[in-house]
Amino acid sequence: MPLLRVEEAQGRILAHFRPLEPEPVEILDALGRVLAEDVISPLDIPPFTNSAMDGYALRAADTAGTSREKPVALRVLGNAAAGYPVDLAVVPGTAVRIMTGAPLPAGADAVVRFEDTSEAAGQAERDLESSILIEILRPAEVGENVRLAGEDVAAGEIVLRAGAVIRPQEVGVLASLGRKTVQVHRRPRVAVLATGDELVAIDEPVTPGKIRNSNEYSTAALVLRDGGIPIRLGIARDNIEHLTAKIREGLEQRVDLFLTSAGVSVGDYDMVKNVLASEGQMHFWQVAIKPGKPLAFGQVRGVPLIGLPGNPVAAMVAYEAFARPAILTMQGRTAQSHPALRAVLDEDVTNSGRRHYMRARVRRQDNRYHVTTRGSGVNVQGSGILSSMTWANCFVVVPETVTFLPAGSEVEVQIPDLMNI
Ligand code: AMP
Ligand code: MG
List, for residues 204-250, the tens digit of each pLDDT value. Answer: 999 999 999 999 999 999 999 999 999 999 999 988 899 999 999 99
Q: Does ligand 1 have an atom closer than 6 angstroms to the CB of 218?
A: no
349-405 tens-digit pLDDT: 999 899 999 999 999 999 999 999 987 666 789 999 999 999 999 999 999 999 999
Average pLDDT, the chain: 94
Return the half-sphere exposure (C-beta side, CA atoms, 13 A cut-off) of residue 105.
Answer: 26
State the Cα–Cα distance between residues 131 and 112, nearest whole angstrom.
17
Q: Is the pLDDT of residue 124 over 80?
A: no
312-341 tens-digit pLDDT: 999 999 999 999 999 999 999 998 889 999
Give CA angle at 413 (407, 417), nearest 5°: 140
Q: Does ligand 1 have an atom closer than 6 angstroms to the CB of 268?
A: yes
Q: Does ligand 1 have an atom closer than 6 angstroms to the CB of 194?
A: yes
pLDDT, mean of residues 265-275: 71
Stated length of the chain: 421
Separation in Å, CA 168 to CA 14, 28, 117, 228, 258: 29, 8, 38, 20, 31
Q: Does ligand 1 have an atom closer than 6 angstroms to the CB of 262?
A: yes
Classify each residue of 150-174 as buried b or exposed e, where b means 16 or more C-beta atoms within 10 Å of its C-beta.
beebeeeeebbebebbbeeebbebb
Ligand 1 atom with least separation from CA of 264: 2
Q: How far does residue 215's CA lie from ligand 2's centre (Å)?
A: 12
Task: Tell me the whole-structure pTM to 2 decimals.
Answer: 0.91
If you take atom 17 of ligand 1, which residue's CA is the nearest one?
A: 310
If you take atom 5 of ligand 1, which residue's CA is the nearest one?
A: 310
Q: How far does residue 262's CA lie from ligand 2's centre (Å)?
A: 5
- pLDDT above 70: percentage of residues in the chain: 94
Residue among 265, 274, 311, 313 to mutate when testing ligand 1 (max atoms within 8 A of CB): 311
Give the residue, 34 or 279, on which the prediction is more confident: 34
93-108 tens-digit pLDDT: 999 999 999 999 999 9
Ligand 1 atom with least separation from CA of 198: 12
pLDDT of residue 272: 78
Q: How far does residue 54's CA lie from ligand 1's centre (Å)?
A: 67
pLDDT of residue 130: 66
Q: Does ligand 1 have an atom closer than 6 angstroms to the CB of 50?
A: no
